[in-house]
Amino acid sequence: AFMIARYGLSMEVDDEMVADENEKNALQEIVNNTKLSEQYHMVAWDIGVMEPKSPEDIYKVHLIGSQGAKSSSLDSARQNLAATFVNAFVNAGYCQDKLMTAISDSSENLLFEKNELGKASAVASLGMIHLWDHDSGFAILDKYLQSDDTHVVAGALLGIGIVSCGVKNDYDPALALISGYSTSAASITRIGAILGLGIAYAGSRKDKLKSLFLITLSDSQAPLVDLVFSAISLGLVFVGSCNEEIAQSIISVLKNLIKAELAEPIIRLLPVSIGLLYLGKQEGPKANVVKVSETFDEIMKEVSKTFDKIMKDYWDVTLMSLAYAGTGNVLKVQELLSICSKKEGGSHQGPAVLGIALIAMAEELGVEMAVRSLEQLFKYGDYNIRRAVPLALGMLYISNPKVDVVDTLSRLSNDADGQVMMAATISLGLIGAGTNNARIAELLRKLSSQEHGVYLFCVSTNLQQKPLYPCFKP
């Protein structure tokens, strides 16, 4: 039951599995992660990491001097927002912190002196702090739902989704709280509701949400952002389900878009949504492989008819990478390497690099071979490839800070190309997630003391000085 809960699978414990009623209910609570927050706190107290820390504690201002102190202060809206990211990740699941849950009315006004999306992010960070705890999380976030500021409401909806992620409840409180906002007049509120539901019910395959989001996808008058985020949420809720009805609905959205809309960057999230439906399913049980493969091939052919060659290549690579994620399929890795080696280049080469990491990350030998290939790609590839290589390295070594990989990413975090620098900084956080790695913490502190503008957020998101999940390895 704990293993099923850990992987987010949905299962009903029935009388045939367990005869005793009390034992059946106890196992169902485990499967539903009903007491996950309570167990998390228990283990966190036992290993002594429950004491909340402030962003200043994490930045260790006394170690990086006055310039670092400037970066970690809460005087400006940008630095303030960066601090909320640090605070949310460090105190995730603890239901207490020194910045958000401990603020007074006067400091609350200071806290929300930021731009519109900054307000949404700050409120949503409360969802991280109260992760898995419905009782305290919903109580804290409910007051923000009463706000007149639509961005604050959107942040609260997103926060409710984060609180509910992975926790199943027969009464569906998240659905009851959020669903009414999915048709709000304000665009940002609708997006907060749509993504909140997608996160709250990820992997649940809940039919109520399918009906709700398919109505949006079938609305020819719906704004483009609503269509895209509804597709993404469906991909999250029905991940790995191979649901052909949803896939066809997303393809119908594509066919109805005009040429100008197809050129919008946000459209690139649509292949991700279809890819999530087929995540890892190309190497499923043998009885199901042929059926899944045929269906997926048909989906790819239909999608390809909608685009010119540039977008077709981008979609094909994205869909294939997600469909074969975790399979270790050598032939597909070679196919992606071949795409990266072509001299004409193209925007699809970046996803091809990430696809190599996605496919190879399942087993150790595949990871080692992928790393060697990535080194060559970074050395000889064009800018689309070079910018994706640091992220691919981060994906291959999540929570596994190998010395040589840390050295490589440290070098790339000072690259002349700003995009490479940001990707390397994010990847330093990925490989050090929850490990308390002193070397990575020192590197990130040094980066935080430099004036890099928006790069401050990349550093801030990764500055964790204690394990993100004290009782479960990420």
pLDDT digits (tens, 9 = 90+) for 105-123: 544 554 565 677 888 888 9
Region 417-423: mean pLDDT is 88
- Give yes or no for residue 415 having a pLDDT over 70: yes
Lookup: tokens for 113: 């002196």
% helix / strand / coil in the chain, to the nearest 5? 70, 0, 30
pLDDT of residue 296: 66
pLDDT one-digit tens code per residue, 280-329: 887 443 434 445 566 666 776 776 666 666 678 888 899 889 999 998 89
Q: Does 84 lie in the same domain as 64?
A: yes
Domain-located, residue 137 = no
Question: Band of the pLDDT at 13, cuts 50, 70, 90?
Answer: confident
Q: How far is CA 20 from CA 14, 27, 129, 170, in A?
A: 10, 11, 36, 20
Structural domains in the chain (count): 3
pLDDT one-digit tens code per residue, 340-386: 988 777 788 999 999 999 999 988 888 999 999 999 999 888 888 99
Domain-located, residue 70 = yes
Q: Does 458 lie in the same domain as 407?
A: yes
**Residue that is last in its domain, among 338, 368, 396:** 396
Q: Does 415 lie in the same domain as 377?
A: no
**Residue that is last in its domain, among 374, 396, 418:** 396
- For residue 72, give every residue at least 6 positions away whose Cβ sits within 8 Å of its Cβ, in sequence order, or none: 55, 56, 59, 61, 79, 83, 448
- For residue 27, give every residue at least 6 positions away whose Cβ sits within 8 Å of its Cβ, in sequence order, or none: 1, 13, 17, 18
Domain-located, residue 351 = yes
Neighbours of 375 (CB within 10 A): 13
Domain-located, residue 451 = yes
183 neighbors 145 (Cβ within 8 angstroms): no
**Residue that is last in its domain, among 367, 396, 425:** 396
Q: Does 77 lie in the same domain as 26?
A: no
- For residue 136, give every residue at least 6 positions away whose Cβ sits within 8 Å of its Cβ, in sequence order, or none: 95, 130
Domain-located, residue 164 = no
Q: Does 389 lie in the same domain as 345?
A: yes
Domain-located, residue 178 = no
Q: Does 444 lie in the same domain as 417?
A: yes
Domain-located, residue 365 = yes
356 neighbors 373 (Cβ within 8 angstroms): yes
3-state SS of 353-403 is HHHHHHHHCCCHHHHHHHHHHHHHHHHHCCHHHHHHHHHHHHHHCCCCCCH
Q: How far is CA 397 from CA 121, 141, 328, 432, in A?
A: 27, 34, 15, 9
pLDDT of residue 69: 42
Question: Band of the pLDDT at 226, cuts 50, 70, 90?
Answer: very high
**pLDDT cut 90: percent of the chain above it:** 34
Q: Does 390 lie in the same domain as 354?
A: yes
pLDDT of residue 427: 92
**pLDDT cut 70: percent of the chain above it:** 81
pLDDT of residue 108: 56
Instruction: Name the residue with higher pLDDT: 78 or 277.
Output: 277
Q: Does 358 lie in the same domain as 338?
A: yes
Q: Does 366 lie in the same domain as 403?
A: no
Provide the residue type at 423 as one letter: A
Rounded distance, CA 27 to CA 235, Å? 28
Q: Does 408 lie in the same domain as 447?
A: yes
Q: Does 403 lie in the same domain as 391?
A: no
Domain of residue 383, residue span: 326-396
Domain-located, residue 286 = no
Q: Does 404 lie in the same domain as 463?
A: yes
Reported pTM: 0.85
